[in-house]
Amino acid sequence: MQRSLKIVFIFVIPCFTVECAYKIWWYSSGGTRIPFLGNIIVSDTVACILELCSWLYRTVVFFLVCTLFRLICYLQILRLQDFAQVFQVESDVESVLREHLRIRRHLRIISHRYRLFILWALIIITVSQFASLLMTTRSTA
């Protein structure tokens, strides 16, 4: 688990640093002038912090699900190694086949759930990027 979280941080921290630098530059250079709190500096600071928190949340959730999938795969490998030892101990074919079918069913469920996650992530990201593109390129923007 610690190795998996280390991998998440190796990807997220550099990206977050670059994102912070870009957003701070963008808001400080006057990229937006929406004074929703009355004071422009306070408004830009709050908007920048909220946007960075949103980015960090979305990115960490995505990478965390990928890390959990990786962890589940390693646990399944351990389970299969234990299953291989059953062949050396037991000679009962029925129990071996029953265990094989149970492991196969669990792997299929995990695989389908992860594929669904990848598919929905792709759809949601594509739709949100397309909506952002349409909002920024409309004639009144």
pLDDT tens digits, the chain, 141 residues: what are they? 677 778 777 888 888 899 899 888 888 887 555 666 677 778 788 888 888 888 888 887 777 777 777 788 788 888 777 777 777 776 677 777 777 788 888 888 888 888 888 788 778 878 887 887 787 777 775
- Cα dist from 127 to 5, 47, 64, whole Å: 29, 23, 22
pTM: 0.57
Closest CA to 13 of 69, 63, 78, 50: 63
- The residue length of the chain stands at 141
DSSP letter assigned to residue 33: -
Place of tokens 């695989």: 111
Tell me phi and psi for residue 100, to 5 degrees: -60, -45
| pLDDT attached to residue 26 | 84
Check if the beta carbon of residue 61 is closer than 8 Å to that of residue 125.
no
Helix (H/G/I), strand (E/B), else coil: 64: helix
| pLDDT attached to residue 21 | 92
CA distance 132 to 45: 22
Q: What's the first-to-final CA gap in the chain, in angstroms?
A: 46
